[in-house]
């Protein structure tokens, strides 16, 4: 039986490990560094490094690595051993403060979006002491930021840490206006729910599209999909349960607060959700979670698919980003309080989020871009591409009363005075959830539901932190100048609600009526990655990010280039994979099956049967047509890829892939999937959807 408290964090050099192994003075300095986000001096770092090394060696570790998150979408690591030569020709195990604080991996082969030339190889990793070091596969992993020789951020952690500092600064300004002198730090916290698919590993190995692209590029609908609604929250199958048990243990060892596990809507789909933690740690933990999902699945003879849409016709996978703001004194700033002052403070922070989401709806959409997520958004399983907010009936009624200047009476008649308005204390979960809303208030947090399952949560939270910090900055500027704080506060909240209520929508986000209504309200509907990304480098966006030192203009443009390049490269790989599968496997299978039926007709004719009346003749004719269309559509897709060479500019290239290449891919898939419905099992070259989705027993 697993002793969870005993194994939890056993592979993490956390506060308990530091307390046990560091001198008291060093431990206090380390805690102060973590709490305030300040660097350690070299002498203290040497003491920490030596203790960390001894702790790791006791657990069988021989190497260390600076674990970082470049713009590849996955993590990176270069391993160095602890060994150092001694005078007697042998070795000793050493780890210095310099090695702990800073590393130097080659930066030339990571995406930089034009930030540096290929020959400019030098890059630096810098230790993030707020995220604990951990042991993974006998290697000590030190979470780090990654930057170029000239200081530009080449990773996702650096701007995330910057955004956390900015919202801390601006939130503290607001709290001081409310008389809060106890809070010394404000952190955003995140709990990212992670959806994924599990399929049999042997079947996975037979699908080139899954191997190369992470999703099926061909596949006819099986007799049964998710229409019976019997998988969601259903009994977890023994093989999956065994996988989940091992996964939880591995995550718990790494200090990851894995809490919830269940079957999701689609067959073979599941979800894992952790307890909230500080945003940069949550981002690190989610990257580790995705890595562990794949590794543990392999041990159980399965493959974990993290693609946003691995199968057509059933739900894809998302990642719900549950985001909130908390103080180091334990107050959730997005939770209604017990007193008028607390409720006024809550309303101001709520108003800030409303304004931020409305003002920067484009950037929230940009934060979740990707070729995979384009398949999922708006597909009656995920929120639409139109950004809106859900606040629920009760909170909506409160906002309405503030806008109209009328008192709001709660059913139990509990009323609290706030200046000239009345706001009740209301409890969590007094209204339903809205799964069609991209950005929903759920009691004491917002659930940003547009994220795709493979995305790093760093990007969306960089945007969330920054846009809310910007609005808090505006609010603080106004309120700090006010002669009558309460009057200015009430006027500000009311004005914000009136000016930004268009972003609030509590209805069905899937309906056609909402699409039309959103257009009337002036809300953006950025359906694809190429549609959304230009907003990332707009004048407004550059002004926002440079003002708060989240990105330089150069860093913004580099990320724009990287994201567009990734989009184009992804579609190019998918198109080439389709061509290979169609030419080498699907087409031969259709021809062979056609020959089999033709031989049957010939045999019938040889014994005097009138084959003009045989149904097999109709099948042969349809297969003959399908064969011609597979050849024709494969050539069309090939020509579409050739046409890419004539396109100048990465934005134009992305638009071409969106409009021309994807259209050709869809045409080829339609005829190939039609062939799959007809061709016999022994001829079809790939496992079908039914096998893939229902293979785990």
Name the residue with tokens 């009994």. 235
What is the spatial distance between Cα 403 and Cα 497, in angstroms, rounded to a whole number?
Answer: 7
What 3-state class would DSSP assign to 359? Answer: helix
Using the Cα atoms of residue 667, residue 668, residue 671 and residue 677 in order, give the sign of their dihedral. negative
Look up tokens 């057509």; give the residue: 312
- Taking the domain 565-693, which CATH number applies? 1.20.120.1560
**Would the pTM of this model clear 0.95, i.e. be above it?**
no
Q: Which fold has domain 194-317?
A: Creatine Kinase; Chain A, domain 2 (3.30.590)
Q: Which stretch of DSSP H or E encloses residue 692?
A: helix 689-693
pLDDT value, residue 479: 97
Torsion from C-alpha of 466, 467, 472, 477, nearest 10 degrees? 90
Strand partners, 504: 389
d(CA 125, CA 425): 47
Residue 677, CA distances (Å) to 221, 386, 388, 621, 689 in order: 9, 36, 40, 15, 11
User: In this predicted structure, what is the pLDDT of residue 274?
Assistant: 94
In the prediction, which pLDDT does 106 show? Answer: 61
Residue 562's CB is within 10 A of a number of other CB atoms, namely 22
pLDDT on residue 623? 94
pLDDT at 617: 85
Low-confidence ranges of the chain (pLDDT < 70): 37, 104-122, 149-151, 378-381, 407-435
Question: What's the pLDDT at 248?
Answer: 96
Domain range summary for the chain, segments of one domain joined by +: 4-154, 156-192+319-520, 194-317, 565-693
Tokens representing residue 122 in the block: 């030098």
pLDDT of residue 72: 79
At 411 the pLDDT is 52
Q: What are residue 196's DSSP bridge partners?
A: 270
Please state, in angstroms and rounded to a whole number, the distance separating the CA atoms of residues 238 and 261: 14
| d(C-alpha 445, C-alpha 441), whole Å | 6
Q: How far apart are CA 226 and CA 240, in angstroms?
A: 18
Whose tokens are 């704080």? That residue is 485
Instruction: Say what the pLDDT of residue 44 is.
Output: 85
- Calculate helix-pair angle for 458-480, 340-359, nearest 10 degrees: 120
Dist CA 98 CA 50 (whole Å): 11
The dihedral region occupied by 191, where left means phi > 0, alpha psi between -120 and 50, and beta the remainder, is: beta
Domain at 4-154, CATH class: alpha beta
């Amino acid at each position: 039986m697993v002793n969870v408290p005993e194994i939890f964090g056993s592979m993490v050099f956390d506060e308990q490990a530091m307390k046990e192994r560091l001198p008291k003075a060093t431990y206090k300095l380390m805690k102060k560094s973590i709490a305030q986000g300040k660097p350690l001096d070299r002498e203290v770092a040497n003491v920490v490094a030596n203790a960390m090394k001894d702790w790791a060696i006791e657990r069988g570790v021989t190497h260390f690595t600076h674990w970082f998150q470049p713009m590849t979408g996955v993590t990176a690591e270069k391993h160095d051993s602890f060994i150092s030569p001694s005078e007697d020709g042998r070795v000793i195990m050493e780890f210095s403060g310099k090695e702990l604080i800073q590393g130097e991996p080659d930066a030339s082969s990571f995406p930089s979006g034009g930030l540096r030339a290929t020959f400019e190889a030098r890059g630096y990793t810098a230790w993030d002491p707020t995220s604990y070091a951990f042991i993974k596969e006998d290697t000590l992993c030190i979470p780090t930021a990654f930057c170029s020789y000239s200081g530009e951020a080449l990773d996702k952690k650096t701007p995330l840490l910057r955004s956390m500092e900015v919202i801390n600064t601006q939130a503290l300004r607001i709290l001081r206006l409310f008389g809060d002198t106890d809070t010394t730090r404000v952190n955003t916290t995140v709990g990212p729910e992670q959806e994924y698919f599990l399929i049999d590993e042997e079947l996975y190995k037979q699908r080139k599209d899954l191997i190369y692209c992470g999703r099926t590029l061909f596949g006819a609908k099986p007799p049964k999909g998710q229409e019976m609604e019997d998988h969601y929250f259903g009994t977890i199958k023994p093989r999956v349960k065994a996988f989940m048990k091992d996964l939880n243990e591995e995550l718990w060892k790494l200090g990851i607060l894995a809490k919830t596990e269940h079957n999701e809507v689609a067959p073979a789909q599941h979800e894992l959700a952790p307890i909230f933690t500080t945003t940069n740690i949550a981002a690190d933990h989610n990257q580790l979670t995705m890595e562990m999902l794949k590794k543990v699945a392999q041990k159980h003879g399965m493959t974990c698919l993290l693609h946003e849409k691995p199968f057509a016709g059933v739900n894809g996978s998302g990642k719900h980003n549950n985001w909130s703001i908390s103080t180091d004194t334990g107050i959730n700033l997005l939770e209604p309080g017990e007193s008028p002052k607390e409720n006024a403070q809550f309303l101001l922070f709520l108003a800030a989020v409303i304004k931020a989401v409305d003002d920067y709806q484009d950037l929230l959409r940009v934060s979740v871009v990707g070729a995979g997520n384009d398949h999922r958004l708006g597909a009656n399983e995920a929120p639409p591409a139109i950004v809106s907010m859900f606040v629920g009936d009760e909170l909506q009624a409160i906002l309405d009363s503030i806008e109209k200047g009328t008192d709001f009476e709660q059913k139990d008649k509990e009323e609290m005075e706030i200046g000239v308005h009345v706001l009740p204390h209301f409890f969590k979960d007094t209204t339903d959830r809205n799964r069609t809303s991209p950005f929903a208030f759920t009691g004491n947090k917002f659930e940003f539901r547009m994220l795709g399952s493979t995305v790093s949560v760093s990007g969306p939270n960089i945007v969330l932190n920054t846009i809310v910090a910007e609005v808090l900055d505006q609010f603080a500027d106004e309120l700090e100048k006010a002669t009558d704080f309460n009057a200015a506060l009430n006027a500000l909240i009311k004005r914000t609600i009136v000016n930004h209520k268009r972003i609030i929508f509590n209805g069905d986000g899937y309906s056609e009526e909402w699409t039309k209504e959103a257009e009337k309200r002036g809300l953006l509907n950025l359906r694809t990655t190429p549609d959304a990304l230009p907003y990332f480098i707009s004048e407004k966006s550059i002004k926002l990010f440079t003002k708060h030192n989240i990105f330089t203009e150069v860093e913004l443009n580099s990320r724009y280039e990287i994201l567009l390049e990734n989009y184009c490269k992804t579609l190019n790989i998918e198109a080439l994979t389709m061509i290979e599968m169609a030419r080498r496997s699907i087409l031969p299978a259709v021809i062979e099956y056609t020959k089999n039926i033709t031989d049957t007709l010939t045999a019938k004719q040889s014994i005097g049967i009138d084959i003009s009346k045989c149904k097999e003749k109709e099948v042969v004719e349809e297969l003959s047509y399908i064969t011609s269309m597979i050849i024709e559509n494969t050539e069309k897709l090939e020509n579409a890829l050739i046409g890419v060479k004539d396109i100048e500019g990465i934005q134009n290239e992305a638009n071409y892939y969106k409009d021309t290449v994807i259209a050709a891919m869809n045409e080829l898939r339609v005829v190939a999937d039609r062939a799959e419905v007809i061709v016999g099992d022994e001829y079809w070259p790939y496992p079908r959807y039914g096998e893939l989705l229902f293979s785990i027993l």
